[in-house]
Amino acid sequence: MFYAPETAPIDLPTFKSTIAMPYTLTPGRSAGTFLAEMPNRRIVGSRFAGGKVIAPAQDFSPVNGDEPEELVQVPENGELTAFTRVDGVVIGLVRLDGCENAFAHRILADLADCKVGQRVAAQWASEDAGTSITAIEGFVLSPDAPVGEVKPLVGPAEPLGVINYSMALDYDHAYGPYYGRMFDELKENGVVMGVRGSNADDALLPPREIDDITHKRTGTWKACADTGTIRACSLINMEVYGQTRPVPYAYAEIVLDGASTKMIHIIEIDDLESAKQTIKPGTRVRAIWTKGERKGAVSDIERFEVIEA
Amino acid sequence: MGLSQVAVLASAQTELRPAWRDAQHIDLISSVVTNVFKGTGLTIDDVDFVIDSGSDVLDGRSISNCGFLGALGAHHKEEARVEEDGLWGALYGVNKIRAGASIGLIVAYSKPSESSVDLYWSSMVEPFYQRPVGFGQKAALGIQAQRYLAAHGIKDEALAEVVARRWAAAAAGGKVAMGDAPDARTVLASEEAAAPLTDLMIARPVDGAVAVLIGNADVARRAGRPPVLITGMGTSMETHSFAERTANRLDSVSNATKMALGKAGWASAAAADVVETSGSSVVGELLALEGLGLAPAGKGLDAAQDAKVNRSGGALPADPIMATGLVRLAEAAKQLSTPVAGGAKAPAKAIVHGTGGVAMQTNCVFTLEV
């Protein structure tokens, strides 16, 4: 990089990772009622002081933050105000009759047949879509759709409280020249390689081009031992989301012999009381390598264990 | 004592590539942070604060700047992250210098090649009504374009000409990795992204990093060149509800421009000799030019032909999401400080535009002067 900013683009393997987060979303009263009414095939809007109606229902005006006075039932017919096509699906803005706003939904028609101002009508999904806006499958072009009227919402459904939701994002992280060599050395040679600091013999782990503290170029590569010293630790006896092994175990920050930075790893323990005696800052430990073919990953070291004095 | 003037002292960029497969974020960041000092006589020790811009969602980790502090040169310094385009990072930095700091380092970076850009945009829209029906950045840009073309009777051939022009400019600049720059026919023939927009009519996500060093007027004077002063700044945001925004206009660009011009004391953006904009699509670029006041409504195409607009190529050939606006600032400052041939008129004023959000929800405008 800093040495060779003119490197040619090359295709290298990436580190695959996924972040999948569980959420409980709170729709609030208006959206909660709108969604709860989807199985009843009623479209809920919000009416503001002065008579302005927007749909789908909102707890506040997206324009000026006003609170609505009441929820209403809005018609299923309206007009198309704009449209596009993404991945073969036509998406348009639809203004339902009696409403001042438009909102995005699928338009179940060929793009070539779409015109601004065209009358459209909701098409309900034939299959049960539950309490989702996709219970409206989309809007079909309907030139003769009568102009509907906004009506009071009689006997509204209980608004949904929370909605379980999840989102997963996939990543292909580049290793870069420094992490790349570190993982290659782990895989090919079973050696933990760092680079010397800008002004020190001890190695930085993981290796990097620029020393974090001095912001000067780091030094040459150095193999570290697979033995080291605990500098900080915690005995984990509580189960939390994201753990990779059963409790109890020790979480330790270990400085490998030859390195200056701490690496985080795990020490297996039999019981908390004996672990408290042996696992503490200053304790000497050795890496236990994972059996079988090395993968070029941190998991090639299965865990650390205490070196008996 | 009055408020200090603030100058752009130097900038550094990596090449902007579809994918930097052989470099991590920290590699790109440490490269520009190291390079930005070269020739300035300054070092990282002179920097009072570091402001960085990037996206946790694109980076794939929470508060990702914490992992990049060393590369940023921010060890034990005041550091702050702006989860918005780097041009807002620069705005934060300018205000810090006006409040008494001397030198600030502004860094923005992006590696969209590591994640799904469509999901990044999807994560920005509303989860109950918009996400389930497939509404996202592409749909919003498509609707924006469909309305604009219909309202002004513009053909997509004219849009393709603008796109080809921007790619040719980026190719000439040499900082954007590309094969042959597409001509207008290729732009039209590329796949449909969001009708009427083709793939090449939407800003191309690229990887890269940019660092900009800013300083107060005393530092700038000592740096030995005529300083490029930041004389005006403005920002403004549209409602999140896309359908409620004014059709065929980016009100927030107009508002941000008005604010920046007022501070700079310019009567109009037409005073600028250099214009650098960040359009999320080619129609977005035309709307931005109109919002800046460089063309009346529907006449953005005329302004887009002007040689002073997006000499760097703008955002269409290279959009390092979250860094694009700061790249525009770096490019504009460079154009103002590059010596011109004897007898030629040197550019003296620049206007810079950055954007963020779905269909350019939020906008930021800077004026620069030498």
pLDDT band at B308 (very low <50, low <70, confident <90, very high): very high
CATH code of B250's domain = 3.40.47.10
**Tens digit of each residue's pLDDT (9 = 90 or more) over B192-211:** 999 999 999 999 999 999 99
Domain of B254?
230-369
B1 assigned to some structural domain: no
- One domain for residues B278 and B299: yes
A290 assigned to some structural domain: yes
- One domain for residues B107 and B133: no
Total of domains in chain A: 2
- One domain for residues A208 and A300: yes
A108 touches chain B (CB under 8 A): no
Chain B closest-CA separation from residue A18 CA (Å): 8
- Other Cβ atoms less than 10 A from the Cβ of A100: the count is 16
pLDDT band at B1 (very low <50, low <70, confident <90, very high): very low
Please give the DSSP secondary-structure letter assigned to residue B16. Answer: B
B89 assigned to some structural domain: yes
A7 assigned to some structural domain: no
* Average pLDDT value for residue range B312-332: 98
Which structure tokens are listed for B80? 């702050």
B63 bridge partner residues: none
Residues B17/B317, Cβ–Cβ less than 8 Å? no
**Number of Cβ pairs < 8 A linking chain A and chain B:** 186
**Tens digit of each residue's pLDDT (9 = 90 or more) over B128-178:** 999 999 999 999 999 999 999 999 999 999 999 999 999 999 999 999 999
- One domain for residues A139 and A191: no
- One domain for residues B86 and B122: no
Digitized pLDDT (tens) for each residue of chain A, 309 residues in all = 554 444 555 567 889 999 998 999 999 999 999 999 999 999 999 999 999 999 999 999 998 999 999 999 999 999 999 999 999 999 999 999 999 999 999 999 999 999 999 999 999 999 999 999 999 999 999 999 999 999 999 999 999 999 999 999 999 999 998 999 999 999 999 999 999 999 999 999 999 999 999 999 999 999 999 999 999 999 999 998 878 888 999 999 999 999 999 999 999 998 899 999 999 999 999 999 999 999 999 899 999 999 987
Residues B277/B315, Cβ–Cβ less than 8 Å? yes
Of the residues B156, B188, B222, the one at which a domain ends: B222
**Tens digit of each residue's pLDDT (9 = 90 or more) over B229-263:** 999 999 999 999 999 999 999 999 999 999 999 99
**Residue of B25, B27, B118, B130 to mutate when probing chain A, most A C-beta within 10 A:** B27
* Average pLDDT value for residue range B93-117: 96
B352 bridge partner residues: B276, B366
- One domain for residues B304 and B315: yes
pLDDT score at A9: 54
- The reply to whether residue B135 touches residue A91, judged by beta carbons under 8 angstroms, is yes
Interface of A with B in 45-104 (CB under 8 A): 56, 62-63, 81-87, 89, 91-93, 101-104
Chain A closest-CA separation from residue B93 CA (Å): 21
φ, ψ for residue A121, nearest 5 deg = -135, 145
- One domain for residues B267 and B253: yes
CB contacts of A212 in chain B (<8 Å) are 69-71, 75
CB contacts of B50 in chain A (<8 Å) are none
Distance CA B174, CA B257 (A): 30
pLDDT score at B2: 55
Which among A56, A104, A180 is the nearest to B135, CB-wise? A104
DSSP string, B52-103: EE--HHHHTSTTTHHHHHHHHT-TTSEEEEESS-HHHHHHHHHHHHHTT--E
Domain of A268?
171-306
- Other Cβ atoms less than 10 A from the Cβ of B224: the count is 10
- One domain for residues B341 and B351: yes
**Residue of B45, B128, B178, B361 to mutate when probing chain A, most A C-beta within 10 A:** B128
pTM above 0.90, yes or no: yes
Of the residues A124, A142, A161, the one at which a domain ends: A161
- One domain for residues A157 and A282: no
Q: In what order do the strands lie in the sheet with A136-141?
A: A103-106, A89-96, A77-86, A119-124, A136-141
CB contacts of B134 in chain A (<8 Å) are 86-87, 89, 91, 106
Interface of A with B in 152-191 (CB under 8 A): 163, 165, 167, 169-180
Total of domains in chain B: 3
Cβ-defined contacts of A140-147 (< 8 Å, 24+): A140/A107, A140/A108, A140/A109, A141/A80, A141/A107, A141/A109, A141/A113, A141/A114, A142/A77, A143/A118, A143/A119, A144/A119, A145/A77, A145/A119, A145/A120, A145/A121, A146/A77, A147/A75, A147/A77, A147/A97
- One domain for residues B65 and B212: yes
**Residue of A3, A19, A26, A86 to mutate when probing chain B, most B C-beta within 10 A:** A86
- One domain for residues A33 and A147: yes
